[in-house]
Amino acid sequence: MSSKSLWIGPAFGITLVSGVLAACSGDVFKSGSTPLDHGGSEAGDTGSEAPQGGKANNTPQGGSGSTVDAAEGGAHEVVPGGGTAQGGANGGGSNGGVASAGSGGVVVDPPEPGAGGDTSPPEPPIVPTPTPILEDWSKPLDKATDWYTAFGDPKVDTAKHQLVLSYDDVAERTQPYAGSYYAESDVTIGGKTVFTPYPYCFEVLLPSLRRNVSGDIELGATQYAGSWHNSGWGAASGTVIAGTTQLHVAYYMQTTAKKFAVKVSHGDKVYRSEWVTDFHWKNTDLSIMRYVGENNSSVYAGSDAIYVDQVSGWQGLSDADVAAAFEK
């Protein structure tokens, strides 16, 4: 494939010169403040304040008044600045009476729902509706479509409905998935490149697949511009799957719990990775997925290509739905 001369990408922040990693440490990514490529931004905390000079519990500006409940069905009123409530418990406001304002005071109604003093519970969060995922690779990679080239030269073979990756390629989804989700497809590893289903994150080892010196597929973990580790798959870490270059690969994202895993199957064998939870990079966005042909850990010396067939799955799920699908 062609030489990739220079890139400083927000997806990973790695600088490459003629295919060689130029010094760039993890500290660079931790201190960066550039918003995400796909339109995200870092949001600060927000909160509410009590009105100036008053209290947060229904006291208007400048007031030192108090809230008084009339006994035996009396109305609940707010007495602003200067007034003291009369007709409180056992007073003139009993038996259905209304608290009256003191000297200089005015009786006002409680705030409407949604005002600063509203104590009603917030609206429940909107739960996404489960909808199917279908990446049929029928359009070229472009920001006007569902997927685009984040780095390198990945491409789509529209006739075969395949995404084609090679060494040091990143194909990224343009729009986020809704809620928790999972997706699966057949993947053929034809050459030396390590394959990783890669959420928008960094500084974490992710379950990956590569071909070993014999050309068989091996399970392990890596990160972009990192090294290969015989880990990430529990007891299956380092497992060699011989006699094939094609596996069924599925990935699972619990967005609320921030947990990610990969499952591989071939014939009657199923291999489940550990759940990845160490997402601490400040620009992490687990709703965005990428397919990465890694730039590291080459072992097999064959021709360089990875083919991802049509992808199917579901989004808008709960974490529990995704965890259950992972165990099937």
Res. 222: pLDDT tops 50: yes
Q: Which of 124, 151, 166 is the last residue of a domain?
A: 124
The vertex-71 CA angle with 67 and 76, nearest 5°, equals 35
pLDDT of residue 170: 98
Return the closest-CA partner of residue 244 out of 308, 188, 301. Answer: 188
Within-domain flag for 221: yes
The reply to whether 155 and 262 lie within a common domain is yes
Query: Do 108 and 205 fall into the same domain?
Result: no
Residues 115 and 133 in one domain: no
Angle at 311 between CA 306 and CA 317, to 5 degrees: 135
Q: Do the domain assignments include residue 40?
A: no
Q: Do residue 202 and residue 243 come from a single domain?
A: yes
Are 119 and 160 contained in the same domain? no
The answer as to whether 45 is a domain residue is no
Cβ atoms of 3 and 19 within 8 Å: the answer is yes
Residue 118, pLDDT score: 62
Q: Nearest CA to 104 among 71, 69, 64?
A: 64
Residue 41 resides in a domain: no
- For CA atoms 48, 51, 53, 59, the dihedral sign is negative
Task: Please report the pLDDT score of residue 121 as a whole number.
Answer: 78
Structural contact between residues 286 and 319, judged by C-beta atoms closer than 8 angstroms:
no
Domain stop point among 79, 95, 124? 124
CATH number for 183: 2.60.120.200
Same domain, 114 and 81: yes
Question: Could you tell me if residue 207 is inside a domain?
Answer: yes
Pairing of strands 306-308, 180-189: antiparallel
- Whether the CB-CB separation of 44 and 33 falls below 8 Å is answered with no
In a domain, 270, yes or no: yes
Number of domains observed in the structure of the chain:
2
286 and 262 within one domain: yes
| pLDDT, tens only, 309-327 | 999 999 999 999 999 999 9
The owner of tokens 């259905």 is 96
Name the more confident of 123 and 239: 239
What is the residue-averaged pLDDT of the chain?
Answer: 76
Based on the fold, state whether residues 115 and 184 are members of the same structural domain.
no
Predicted pLDDT of residue 29 = 30
User: Is there a single domain that holds both residue 290 and residue 142?
Assistant: yes
Boundaries of domain holding 249:
129-327
The verdict on 216 and 94 lying in the same domain is no
Mean pLDDT of 236-252: 97
Residue 112 pLDDT level (bands cut at 50, 70, 90): low
* Inside any domain, residue 22: no
Domain boundary among 124, 139, 172: 124
- Most confident range (mean pLDDT) of 18-22, 55-59, 152-156 is 152-156
Same domain, 81 and 157: no
Please report which confidence band the pLDDT of residue 90 belongs to, taking 50, 70 and 90 as the band edges: very low
**What distance in Å separates the CA atoms of residue 34 and residue 55, rounded to the nearest whole number?**
39
Highest-pLDDT range among 23-32, 63-72, 106-115, 276-285:
276-285
Rounded Cα–Cα distance for residues 38 and 98 (Å): 57
pLDDT band at 114 (very low <50, low <70, confident <90, very high): low
Write down the pLDDT at residue 126.
72
- 252-300 pLDDT, tens digit per residue, is 999 999 999 999 999 999 999 999 999 999 999 999 999 999 999 889 9
**91 within a domain of the structure (yes/no):** yes
Judge if 270 and 154 occupy the same domain: yes
